[in-house]
Amino acid sequence: MAHPLQASTWLLRITGSILIVAGLHAGHELLVPFALAALLALMLAPIGNELERLRFGRSAAVLTTVLLAAILMAGMGWLVTRQVAELARKLADYRGNIEAKTARMGPVGGILLKGYGRLQSAGTELSRKDSTSASTFKPSEMPPDMVSSSAMDLLGEFFLSLFNTLGTGFIVLLLVVFLLIYRDDLRDRLIQLFGVSQVKITTQAMDDAATSVSRYLLTQAIVNLAYGVIVTAGLFAIGIPNALLWGILAGLARFIPYFGAWLAAALPIFISVAVFPGWTRSIVLASSWLALEVVVANAIEPQLYGRKTGISPVAVLVAAVFWTWAWGGLGLLLAIPVTVSLVVLAKHFSSLGFLHTLLSQDASLEPRIQLYQRLLARDHPATEELVDAFGQGRSLGQVYDHLILPALSLAQEDRVWGRLEDSSIEFIRKSLLAIADDLADRPPPEGPSSSPMIPSNAASHLILCIPAADTADELGTRMVQRILESRRVHAEILASGDTVGEKARQAAERSPDIVILVALQPSALIPVRYLYKKLRSSLPDTEILVALLQAPGDPRKWSERILAKTGPPVATSVLATETSIAQMLPPLLLAKAAPAPAAP
């Protein structure tokens, strides 16, 4: 049963999270300009820094950078407006061509024709408004009652819309200027807010967030600019009308994760269907756009900024949906930068650690835990895929030591604490045994081997592997045997179910050259100590190696725990066991090869 204090803490966290989410949604009109200003400041900061290095003052560098950015955005807005108005006036000319094509496409053609009709209606309305706003206003031509009411309403709506748009833009630019000029003062205030004791963490978190986001935004802006130029040139070469409009929209739309490029491609392809009598140019356009996006997304972007955002692909989709719900269309554009900032901050502040776990690309489970989870779920395809991926470029011993045995240890721990039923532990052991045998039967990876050198004539000598106690030790023993056999060393195994006395008796009857006593830590130290004493009594002159698999720390300490002062050599992994055998065999082979002394 949960402790009351712990339950109340979780309740407070859940309540606080709900309030924060509700506040983000309700206060979007206030928060969006601040978020947009912060991200623009991060994007423009590297340019301002370069101007400062050229001996511009900070204020002059910031004002120059912001002014250039404002002129660029205003010019782009003017171009888009003019291009849209021009396209709207041309849509009616393509009506006959689109009707002829869609008539042969059945129901799909009807849907396309309906969509074209809506697009034409919207274009006609936009063109009418554009021509109306461009015409000269003559109050004398209007009825007297309309001059006092309709004209004033129209002017009121116009100035209100203009004030909202220009006012928001002016506030954003003003915030950008102040954030860039007073960034040092802002950082000091944040450090004071989080506490002087958190200076290092706060400074590192802000630097990482600023560096990651600004580099990502600036690099993506450059990539999208080049993308838009290529699209404009390609559309112009094919003959698509208003190529500049589609190039600008393509560059802007790529800020939207995953779907932006395809949303930008949809209208030019649709227009090509309406403009050209055949289908050739439309097919060329679609295939060229697909090839361009594949090259940019999979070759150019990973080279320029590596793993891009540092957040997982699922988190990108979740972030896009969440911020679109919270802040609308601008939220979709701001989703990735805002989420990247949250992930960087969560990496440094433990209270936000859950965000790093949920969103970060680096927060995946360890391979041993992944394997154990897939075995518990009895997901055979996923288990095989994980083992195959982990085994790429690794030796057999490395896969045993860093994947198979750690997963077995997790199962043993759950069995000891009663969290795993007998049927599940038996299934996991059999599955891991099958995996271990399958891996041993595969050809070794190409390239230089890091395994120790074992003499070629070692196969004629008997190595006896003895599990200390239960079936988990028997599985570890099987791995030791398989890795020795992969080195062409003959090894045999005794059954784990025999008593200690029976194991000692069988070992004495076989007279092995080397005995390997195998146990999976930490549950088998006492049986190991007892069995070692019995074996030492039965085989006083035989080399005995204890493979205490997965045991942490110095092997010499474990040797002393088995038997003080005269403890056996201990190996704590399959690879270390292989190395120890490789060191034990040459002296043994030399001793057996030496001629026996002559009788007196």
Tell me the helix, strand and coil percentages in the chain, rounded to 5: 75, 5, 20
Angle of helix 260-275 relative to helix 280-295, nearest 10 degrees, comes to 160
Does the pLDDT at position 98 exceed 50? yes
Helices (H), 182-312: 183-194, 199-238, 243-253, 260-275, 280-295, 301-305
Q: How confident is the model at residue 407 (pLDDT cuts 50, 70, 90)?
A: very high
Q: Nearest CA to 484 among 547, 566, 562, 405?
A: 547
Question: Quick one: average pLDDT of 205-211?
Answer: 71
> How many C-beta atoms lie closer than 10 Å to residue 417's C-beta?
8
Question: Quick one: average pLDDT of 106-111?
Answer: 63
Does the pLDDT at position 515 exceed 90? yes
367-441 folds as 1.10.1240
111 or 280: which leads in pLDDT: 280
**d(Cα 316, Cα 336) in Å, to the nearest integer?**
7
**d(Cα 570, Cα 201) in Å, to the nearest integer?**
43
Q: Nearest CA to 315 among 350, 343, 351?
A: 343
The pLDDT score that the predictor gives to residue 128 is 56
The pLDDT score that the predictor gives to residue 18 is 82
Q: Side chain identity at 219, as an amino acid letter?
A: T
459 or 311: which leads in pLDDT: 311
Q: How confident is the model at residue 143 (pLDDT cuts 50, 70, 90)?
A: very low
The pLDDT score that the predictor gives to residue 466 is 93
Q: How confident is the model at residue 436 (pLDDT cuts 50, 70, 90)?
A: very high
**d(Cα 229, Cα 254) in Å, to the nearest integer?**
13
72-76, 132-136, 204-208, 274-278: the lowest-pLDDT one: 132-136
Which class in CATH covers the domain with range 456-592?
Answer: alpha beta
* Averaged confidence pLDDT in the chain: 78
Q: Side chain identity at 489, as an amino acid letter?
A: V
Could you give phi then psi for residue 10, rounded to 5 degrees? -65, -40
3-state secondary structure of 439: helix
Rounded to a whole number of angstroms, the distance between the first and last alpha carbons of the chain is: 82
Question: Quick one: average pLDDT of 466-483?
Answer: 90
> How many C-beta atoms lie closer than 10 Å to residue 24's C-beta?
18
Does the pLDDT at position 402 exceed 50? yes
58-62, 139-143, 387-391, 566-570: the lowest-pLDDT one: 139-143
Instruction: Specify which residues 543 forms β-bridges with.
Output: 514
The answer to whether the beta carbons of residues 549 and 518 sit under 8 Å apart is: yes
The pLDDT score that the predictor gives to residue 532 is 92
331 or 428: which leads in pLDDT: 428
The pLDDT score that the predictor gives to residue 150 is 46
216-230, 258-272, 351-365, 532-546: the lowest-pLDDT one: 351-365
Tally the C-alpha atoms within 13 A of residue 198's C-alpha that lie toward its C-beta. 15
CA distances from 353 to 227, 344, 346, 358, 363 (A): 36, 10, 5, 9, 10
Question: Quick one: average pLDDT of 439-446?
Answer: 80
pLDDT digits (tens, 9 = 90+) for 126-140: 555 555 444 444 444
Predicted structure pTM score: 0.59
pLDDT digits (tens, 9 = 90+) for 542-552: 999 999 998 88
Query: What is the sign, positive or negative, of the torsion defined by CA atoms of 407, 408, 412, 418?
Result: positive
pLDDT digits (tens, 9 = 90+) for 286-299: 898 888 888 887 77
Q: Which of 136-140, 154-158, 351-355, 475-479 has the highest mean pLDDT?
A: 475-479
The pLDDT score that the predictor gives to residue 139 is 44
Instruction: Specify which residues 465 forms β-bridges with.
Output: 493, 516
Tally the C-alpha atoms within 13 A of residue 164's C-alpha that lie toward its C-beta. 7
**d(Cα 374, Cα 571) in Å, to the nearest integer?**
29
Q: Nearest CA to 25 among 328, 243, 314, 305?
A: 328
Tally the C-alpha atoms within 13 A of residue 199's C-alpha that lie toward its C-beta. 3
**d(Cα 281, Cα 204) in Å, to the nearest integer?**
53
pLDDT digits (tens, 9 = 90+) for 17-37: 788 888 888 887 888 888 888
Does the pLDDT at position 502 exceed 80? yes
Instruction: Specify which residues 545 forms β-bridges with.
Output: 516
**d(Cα 46, Cα 63) in Å, to the nearest integer?**
14
3-state secondary structure of 120: helix
Does the pLDDT at position 561 exceed 90? no
Question: Quick one: average pLDDT of 195-218?
Answer: 70
Q: Nearest CA to 570 among 586, 541, 549?
A: 549
Question: Quick one: average pLDDT of 178-201?
Answer: 74
The pLDDT score that the predictor gives to residue 296 is 84
The pLDDT score that the predictor gives to residue 596 is 52
Question: Quick one: average pLDDT of 44-61?
Answer: 84
DSSP state of 401: I
Q: Which residues lie closer than 8 Å to 37 by C-beta, 6 or more apart?
A: 171, 172, 173, 175, 176, 179
The pLDDT score that the predictor gives to residue 111 is 66
Q: Which residues lie closer than 8 Å to 528 by C-beta, 6 or more apart?
A: 468, 517, 519, 546, 548, 562
Question: Quick one: average pLDDT of 40-62?
Answer: 84
DSSP string, 33-58: HHHHHHHHHHHHHHHHHHHHHTT--H
Q: How confident is the model at residue 361 (pLDDT cuts 50, 70, 90)?
A: low
> How many C-beta atoms lie closer than 10 Å to residue 202's C-beta?
21
**d(Cα 60, Cα 52) in Å, to the nearest integer?**
9
The pLDDT score that the predictor gives to residue 158 is 42
**d(Cα 427, Cα 430) in Å, to the nearest integer?**
5
The pLDDT score that the predictor gives to residue 404 is 93
Does the pLDDT at position 594 exceed 80? no
Q: Nearest CA to 181 among 88, 63, 101, 22?
A: 63
Could you give phi then psi for residue 342, rounded to 5 degrees? -65, -40
Q: Nearest CA to 560 among 540, 532, 538, 518?
A: 532
Report the percent of the chain where pLDDT is more than 70. Answer: 75
Give me the residue spans of the domains in the chain. 24-130+160-181, 208-305, 307-358, 367-441, 456-592
Q: Nearest CA to 555 among 512, 504, 521, 514?
A: 521
Helices (H), 135-198: 144-148, 150-181, 183-194
The pLDDT score that the predictor gives to residue 545 is 94
